[in-house]
Amino acid sequence: MNRCKTWHLVAALWFLCAETACSAEKPGRPNIVFILADDLGYGDIKAFGGDKCNVDTPHFDRLCADGMKFTDAHVTDSVCVPSRTSIMTGRYAFRFGKAEQGGPWGFTGLRFPTSQYTLGKMFQSGGYSTGYVGKWHLGTRMTTRDGRIQGPTNTDFTMPIQIGPEDYGFESCFFLPGSLDMFPYAFIRGKQWQGNITAQKGWSAFNRVGPAAEDFRDTEVLSMFCQEAGRFINTRAQEEQPFFLYVALTAPHTPSSPEAEFEGKSRIGIYGDFVMNTDACIGRIRDHLRDAGVDEDTVIMVSSDHGPGHYSGRRREATANQMQEMQKDGHYSNGPWRGYKFSAFEGGLRVPFAAVWPGVVKPGSVTDALVGLNDLMATWADIAGLEVSPMRAPDSVSFLTVLKGSATRCRDTLVTRGTRSDAFRSGDWKLILGPGSGSSGAFFSEPKSEDAWHIAMEAFGRKLVNHKELENPAFVQLFNLNRDPGETQDLSAGHSDKVKQMLADYQKVIRDGRSTPGPHLSNDRVVKAFRPPAFVWDK
């Protein structure tokens, strides 16, 4: 055989091997779809709330039956923006510096610079097609008519925005800048505003009236997002490369605006209708995957950005403690946990979470492994076979071994935060670094943070001198969640050694700039374990 024929034979064999390798590689690189609900409580899902749930949620329940249910999954923060920041970056939100200045509500500025490593960038650099559909709420930079900071009166809606999800690694995106009760009420595709944004609209919950597209309807947003998710799936299913799709629903966050077919459908009123509508979105997206023929090649995970806001309920108007009224009809949105959105208690931080991966995750499996949604980045990197530098995702721990059933846990500690106090999990133990619920404002969970600090100061008996004195049992709370899941018994006074050890471990997480093994990193700002109100230094 001459050298030319030999080369052609080698080349043919190489291409055959390469093609075979690509075919064999596909099962190891599944598509990944993540659905994140907004303000959906642990107890809003039947599979998690059990007898305390009085809403039908067949689609989320089916996820649990088809895959793995996580009973100890948490977000890092009990409020939207920092929770979503941790998910998007694999880095605790408290480590980030000051956000770029912006306007009110959906006009908020960038939460972190475009140089930040994100889920979109990770998947894009790893050969995935990337898509984002839904609520963004991580800040944009809009074009203004006067060159000043964006706001309701100076934003030029005829011009593309300057920075959005595309700049964070999402090649296809269709989104709202903020929540459904935060103007501007208009979609953005890529960087281009959709529709004629000349109207002024507002919705029932808080009646925040602001710029809106003339054809924008609050009751059509969920169906629009499901359609856009289907559009992405159907298009990308025809391509060779796998895809990653992040779908951020705007429900059941206020305003309670279910589609017409769900109005009056639940047993507990408009909030229940909206939860059922949210649940139906899961089914619609799974249908899109089946119709496109990629459901068996797709990992799907579903969760919520934090616990429910107790101002939602039977009335469309946001009113404090509405959820306590629904409890009389047997529905507990926060499940068996104490507290709600904004608080450092479990009701604000523990979320429903399920994962389906055909052929890998055992159907009907349940795990009590402690996980945070900040762990999604490391987990998905493992699933997709992507390398992540130790300088990135410093607070993300892969739970792939838990998914595969080869391990019962992946992490021992986790930092979580209310709006006024931090909390630190270590095994079954939880330390709250402050008295009270760790929440304040109009929709706090009892006891209100400021009120609890006043009481704690009285018990301490004198003016505080420095942060070291905040380690006194008067200013911390310690709970054993295994024995006391309702966080009713503060054990800090009788377990001073445990308090000291957990506080030292948390301070190390702050000091190291990371909670995973790797080189030391710096926080973008000064971070302290305690966040007391200013008056504690004045007494």
Q: What is the pLDDT of residues 405-429, one digit of tens each?
A: 999 999 999 999 999 999 999 999 9
Q: Which long-range contacts (CB under 8 A, 24 or more apart) does 83-87 make?
A: 83/305, 83/306, 83/373, 84/36, 84/137, 84/138, 84/248, 84/305, 85/111, 85/112, 85/138, 86/372, 86/373, 86/374, 86/395, 87/36, 87/119, 87/305, 87/373, 87/374, 87/376, 87/377
* Greatest pairwise CA separation for the chain in angstroms: 96
When pLDDT is averaged across residues 78-91 and rounded to a whole number, the result is 98
Q: How confident is the model at residue 269 (pLDDT cuts 50, 70, 90)?
A: very high
Which amino acid belongs to residue 304?
S
Higher pLDDT: 46 or 23? It is 46
In 3D space, the residue among 71, 89, 70 whose CA is nearest the CA of residue 81 turns out to be 89
In 3D space, the residue among 345, 297, 340 whose CA is nearest the CA of residue 322 turns out to be 340
What is the C-alpha to C-alpha distance for residues 426 and 133, in angstroms, rounded to an integer? Answer: 35
What is the C-alpha to C-alpha distance for residues 252 and 277, in angstroms, rounded to an integer? Answer: 8
**Do you find a cis peptide bond into 447, omega within 30 degrees of 0?**
yes
What does the pLDDT look like over 98-120, one tens digit per residue? 999 999 999 999 999 999 999 99
When pLDDT is averaged across residues 451-476 and rounded to a whole number, the result is 94
Q: Are 390 and 421 in contact (CB under 8 A)?
A: no
pLDDT exceeds cutoff 80 at 20: no
Residue with tokens 């309702």: 486
Q: Are 457 and 444 in contact (CB under 8 A)?
A: no
First to last CA, the chain: 95
What does the pLDDT look like over 397-406, one tens digit per residue? 999 999 999 9
Tell me what the pLDDT averaged over the chain comes to.
94
What is the C-alpha to C-alpha distance for residues 205 and 312, in angstroms, rounded to an integer? Answer: 8
What is the C-alpha to C-alpha distance for residues 495 and 157, in angstroms, rounded to an integer? Answer: 58
pLDDT exceeds cutoff 50 at 11: no
Residue with tokens 């009590």: 368
Q: Are 187 and 213 in contact (CB under 8 A)?
A: yes
pLDDT at 538 (0 to 100): 81
Q: Tell me if residue 200 falls in helix, strand or coil.
A: strand
Phi-psi region of 493 (alpha: psi -120 to 50; beta: other; left: phi over 0): alpha
Q: How confident is the model at residue 539 (pLDDT cuts 50, 70, 90)?
A: low
CA distances from 58 to 38, 275, 358 (A): 18, 11, 19
What does the pLDDT look like over 284-298, one tens digit per residue? 999 999 999 999 999
Q: What domains can be seen in the chain, in order of their start residue?
A: 29-128+216-409 (3.40.720.10), 420-537 (3.30.1120.10)
Q: Are 310 and 320 in contact (CB under 8 A)?
A: yes
Q: DSSP letter for 173, please.
A: E
What is the C-alpha to C-alpha distance for residues 35 and 133, in angstroms, rounded to an integer? Answer: 10
Of 40-49, 323-332, 530-539, the one with minimum mean pLDDT is 530-539
What does the pLDDT look like over 156-210, one tens digit per residue? 999 999 999 999 999 999 999 999 999 999 999 999 999 999 999 999 899 999 9
Q: Are 372 and 111 in contact (CB under 8 A)?
A: no
In degrees rounded to 5, what are phi and psi of residue 85? -65, -45
- For residue 18, how many other CB atoms are within 10 A of its CB? 10
Q: 365 pairs with which residues across the strands?
A: 68
When pLDDT is averaged across residues 233-254 and rounded to a whole number, the result is 97
What does the pLDDT look like over 492-526, one tens digit per residue? 999 999 999 999 999 999 999 999 999 999 999 99
When pLDDT is averaged across residues 143-152 and rounded to a whole number, the result is 98
Q: How confident is the model at residue 355 (pLDDT cuts 50, 70, 90)?
A: very high
pLDDT exceeds cutoff 80 at 458: yes
pLDDT at 61 (0 to 100): 98
When pLDDT is averaged across residues 314-333 and rounded to a whole number, the result is 95
**Do you find a cis peptide bond into 184, omega within 30 degrees of 0?**
yes
When pLDDT is averaged across residues 16-27 and rounded to a whole number, the result is 36
pLDDT at 5 (0 to 100): 39
pLDDT at 463 (0 to 100): 86
- For residue 328, how many other CB atoms are within 10 A of its CB? 8
pLDDT at 28 (0 to 100): 61
